[in-house]
Structure 1
Amino acid sequence: MFAIERQNIILEHIKGHGKITTQQICDKFNVSATTARNDMKELEAKNLIVRAHGGATLADTQLRVPDVNHIFSIDNNDSYSFVSREKKCIEEKDYIAKKALSYITERGSIYLDSGTTALVIAQKLAALQKNLIVVTHGLHIMSTLVTNPYITVIFVGGIVGKDAAYIEGTLGAGIFDNLNIDLAFVSGYGMTIKSGITDFNPYEVELKRVVIKHSHKIIALIDSSKFDVVSTASFCPTDKIDTIITDSKVSSDILQEYQSQNINIVY
């Protein structure tokens, strides 16, 4: 990679995240600290950034509001990033989203997490005239639904996650003390009967645990690639799930395993 390409990515990262550290540059591009500092020196010479101890921030002339629908290039190779996940199992997510819509009534309250399957549901809901209250901590979900005059969006505030796709932690969780959610749609990085639904971000998992406690009905959105996969932290045990919606590619062995445990699985 040429230095100018590397510097452009560094600048875009700072625009989106407010800062970057020398170590982040070294880790991302597999370069030395000297190379990282030289890149920052060149960007500073162009009045694009201001170097600080151990990293850099954006120069005043470059300040702007980040677009929540854009995830910067530095995260695109991260298999956990929203952009990377959004590109996976596209047909399966659309299939699951269509099934999920049949559970949503003309009015009521639902929760959509920050996942890419939830985003597909939100995109479909945005075109409908349903009098809904939608609770979410996903920035993409919020921005997709907020222009629909029939839908009231309750956004759970807190710390913005690393790829600007969601809120993590429980700073805004107090709002759930005043909410009773009719139906929560949740997903994760993986699911097993023993561990339930698991995800890779322990801070986002904290918030999802609160959601489970304040929801009357739980529907898990699990595409066929996620079964028998266990991630960092569990947030929803199997016995809390009312229905699992998956896709038509799910194996007969998985279906038999879950049905034998009297778990309602729709595909």
Structure 2
Amino acid sequence: MKKIFAQERHKLILDKLAQQRSVTIKELASSLNVSEATLRTDLTKLEQQNLLRRTHGGAILVDPNELDTSFSTRQMKNKDEKVAIAKAAVKTILNNQCIMLDASSTALELAHQLKDSPYRLTVVTSGLKVAMELNDSPQITVILLGGIVKQGSCSLEGTLGAEILNKIHVDQLFTSSNGFSEEAGFTDFSVYEVELKKRMVKAATKTTVLLDHTKIDRNSIAAFAEITDIDTFITDQPVSDKYVELFKKHHIELIVTD
């Protein structure tokens, strides 16, 4: 069996946790063909990133409600960077488009920038706060995707209302994530929210990711998109040469804010 490098092991561990919510070191050692000592180190590193909780002999999936991931907390984190990213995103939008915004705090900042813009738009969103932000804008029609309200986040989970995506044409999706790496793609901490975001990516003609520099080379629990699924990447600081080449390889437009 070929050697599995650390980042790949971490992704496989998180994938298994997402499926069954708990794992044992013996189980992982058998399936990944690595030593238990190596896996203890892996689990410790993942716990330090708040991606799992160590238990005697294994690990369990972190309950998102235990994390510092409330919407109000995320909204205030890296606020200046999100404003800059949102202003850059506005410049990619055309009048009379149908765009889609996820429930992220960066998407909410984009909604705030659009609120008083001259654009006539249709905005589809899974974010309650995004919908409320745009509700009083006479030139913007808001479509709120149905679903289960996620406590503490003002977002909708699940795919109960996603069927509407089969009936409308979405020109561009603006989405963010809790982490991004070449190996894992775009990841988030809510398995249920990820399922809806997968549908959103699939429904959009173009997908634009809004991501501040702190999320790059960071993995979360479940992936909703791969690098090949996106068209534009907007961030606030220059990315490493590795990612410049990766984006070029896949013909992804890279926009770095001033």
TM-score, normalised relative to structure 2: 0.70
2:203 to 204, 214, 224: 214
Give the whole-Å Cα distance in 2 for the aligned partners of 1:108 and 1:190.
28
Give the whole-Å Cα distance in 1 for the aligned partners of 2:223 and 2:239.
23
> CA-to-partner distance for each residue in 1:11-40, whole Å, 9 max, x for gaps?
xxxxxxxxxxxxxxxxxxxxxxxxxxxxxx
Q: Which residue number in structure 2 is paired with residue 238 of structure 1?
A: 227
> CA-to-partner distance for each residue in 1:165-191, whole Å, 9 max, x for gaps?
110011111111111200000111001
Residue 194 (1) aligns with residue 183 (2): yes
Aligned partner letter, 1:149: P
- Residues 114 and 141 in structure 1, CA contact (< 8 A), matched pair in contact too: yes
- Residues 70 and 153 in structure 2, CA contact (< 8 A), matched pair in contact too: no
Q: Which runs of 5+ in 1 are unaligned?
A: 1-74
Q: Taking CA–CA contacts closer than 8 Å with sequence separation of 6 or more, which of the two structures ends up with the larger relative contact order?
A: 2
Give the whole-Å Cα distance in 2 for the aligned partners of 1:82 and 1:200.
13
> How many residues are aligned here?
192
> CA-to-partner distance for each residue in 1:200-221, whole Å, 9 max, x for gaps?
0111111111111110001011
Q: Which residue number in structure 1 is paired with residue 28 of structure 2?
A: none
2:213 to 208, 218, 224: 224
Helix, strand or coil for the counterpart of 2:97? strand
Aligned partner letter, 1:116: S
**Deviation for aligned residue 1:130:** 1.2
Aligned partner letter, 1:114: A
Q: Which residue number in structure 1 is paired with residue 98 of structure 2?
A: 109
- Residues 200 and 233 in structure 1, CA contact (< 8 A), matched pair in contact too: yes
Q: Which residue number in structure 1 is paired with residue 36 of structure 2?
A: none
- Residues 110 and 134 in structure 1, CA contact (< 8 A), matched pair in contact too: yes
Give the whole-Å Cα distance in 2 for the aligned partners of 1:85 and 1:224.
14
2:109 to 104, 117, 120: 120
Q: Which moved more, 1:158-167 or 1:147-156?
A: 158-167
> CA-to-partner distance for each residue in 1:118-153, whole Å, 9 max, x for gaps?
011100101112110000010100000011000000
**Deviation for aligned residue 1:258:** 3.2
Identity across matched positions, percent: 40
Structure 1 155/259 Cα, relative in aligned 2: closer, same or farther at 3 Å? closer
Q: Which runs of 5+ in 2 are unaligned?
A: 1-63
When the two chains are superposed, the root-mean-square deviation of aligned CA atoms in Å is: 1.8
- Residues 70 and 152 in structure 2, CA contact (< 8 A), matched pair in contact too: yes
Larger Rg: 1
Residue 138 (1) aligns with residue 127 (2): yes
Residue 100 (1) aligns with residue 89 (2): yes
Structure 1 181/162 Cα, relative in aligned 2: closer, same or farther at 3 Å? same
Give the whole-Å Cα distance in 2 for the aligned partners of 1:110 and 1:146.
15
Helix, strand or coil for the counterpart of 1:129? coil
Q: Which residue number in structure 2 is paired with residue 173 of structure 1?
A: 162
Give the whole-Å Cα distance in 1 for the aligned partners of 2:98 and 2:248.
31
Give the whole-Å Cα distance in 1 for the aligned partners of 2:184 and 2:169.
26
Give the whole-Å Cα distance in 2 for the aligned partners of 1:162 and 1:205.
16
Give the whole-Å Cα distance in 2 for the aligned partners of 1:167 and 1:143.
14
Equivalent runs, 1:43-54 vs 2, <5 Å: none
Structure 1 131/260 Cα, relative in aligned 2: closer, same or farther at 3 Å? closer
Structure 1 85/205 Cα, relative in aligned 2: closer, same or farther at 3 Å? same
1:258 to 246, 250, 257: 246
Equivalent runs, 1:7-156 vs 2, <5 Å: 78-156=67-145
Give the whole-Å Cα distance in 1 for the aligned partners of 2:145 and 2:254.
29
> CA-to-partner distance for each residue in 1:92-140, whole Å, 9 max, x for gaps?
1011001100011111100000001101110010111211000001010
**Deviation for aligned residue 1:259:** 4.2
**Deviation for aligned residue 1:80:** 1.2
> CA-to-partner distance for each residue in 1:49-68, whole Å, 9 max, x for gaps?
xxxxxxxxxxxxxxxxxxxx
Give the whole-Å Cα distance in 2 for the aligned partners of 1:155 and 1:129.
21
Aligned partner letter, 2:158: G
